[in-house]
Amino acid sequence: MYARVGILPGSELSQKLSRTIGIYQAKGFFLTENFINAAQTEAWGIVNRVVEHEDLLSACLARADDILSYPQDMEQTYKKLIDEGLHMRLRGCRSS
């Protein structure tokens, strides 16, 4: 809807989307602004799981149970580790 009305998306959306689905998919999405379905968002990695509407609550509760099954300080530690790691360069990796 951005291009159709002559505005640009916020930098966070444009940066995160291209990192999530790839630069060419993001360009195609922004330039066509076609609607995408749940299966496509899952395939692109925008969402990590798609469930039927009637299974949504049980799926959410099961996910919450999984998260609550380990020490809670680990949740924040893992989130921080993943967020910080995203901005770091990989060391010791060589192209083949």
Average pLDDT over residues 60-73: 90
pLDDT in tens, 6-60: 777 776 777 888 888 888 988 888 888 788 899 998 998 888 899 999 999 999 9
Which of 72 and 42 is assigned the larger pLDDT? 42
pLDDT at residue number 57: 97
Domain ranges in the chain?
1-50, 51-88
In the block, tokens 């809807």 appear at 1
- 3-class SS at 34? coil
Q: Work out the pLDDT band at 95, boundaries 50, 70, 90.
A: low
In the block, tokens 């580790």 appear at 81
Q: Cα-atom radius of gyration of the chain, to the nearest Å?
A: 18
What's the token pair of residue 57? 């609550």
For the entire predicted model, the pTM comes to: 0.60
